[in-house]
Amino acid sequence: MQTLVDFLNATDLNAFITNTPWVWPTMEMIHFAGLCLLLGSLLIIDLSVIGFAPDIPLRLVDKFIIATLIGFALNATTGVLFFVGDPDRYIVNIAFRLKMLAIALAGLNALYFTFVVRPVIQNGANNFRELGKNARISTALSLTLWTSVIFLGRFIPYVEEL
């Protein structure tokens, strides 16, 4: 791991991120905007699948997935840049490691949703009752994991080494 940290610390990108005063705050704003898109759209999708908005046709809710993907792309990009900009801080941080684990689990859950639940929606399921219990479990897990990602992300500045 130290080899990776040393390599990243020696890159021009690391120098640009750490030595240019406006870069880190700009990345923070983009990360927050991505978070709003990601979680805001997931709330609509997941709560609809769970059954909180039973009158809204699920195929309309499915259209929010593009906002989810844009939000995730913004967060993934800025997250990698945060790591490149300060690898010493992140590599040893337990909150960061747990956050990465939660993101990986959320990704696996998203794959399940994409390949198992979403096709049922696209094939005409109009409400949450038609999706079954596993779809509701998947979306509840999604909400739990992404909420954990947010909390763990907020802990990163306040938690030190393992």
Q: Is the pLDDT of residue 108 over 90?
A: yes
> How far is the C-alpha of 129 from the C-alpha of 68, rounded, in Å?
23
Contact 49, 120 (CB under 8 A): no
Cα–Cα distance for residue pair 109/132, rounded to 1 Å: 16
Q: What is the dihedral of CA 54, 59, 60, 66, to 10 degrees?
A: 130
pLDDT band (50, 70, 90) for residue 162 = low
pLDDT at 56 over 90: no
Alpha helices in the chain, H assignment, sequence order: 2-9, 12-19, 23-50, 58-61, 65-85, 87-91, 94-112, 118-122, 133-155
Tell whether the model's pLDDT for residue 46 goes beyond 80.
Answer: yes
pLDDT exceeds 80 at position 80: yes
Instruction: For 38, list phi and psi in degrees, rounded to 5.
Output: -60, -60
pTM comes to 0.90
Across the range 66-89, mean pLDDT stands at 96
How confident is the model over 112-131, as pLDDT tens digits? Answer: 999 998 898 888 877 777 88
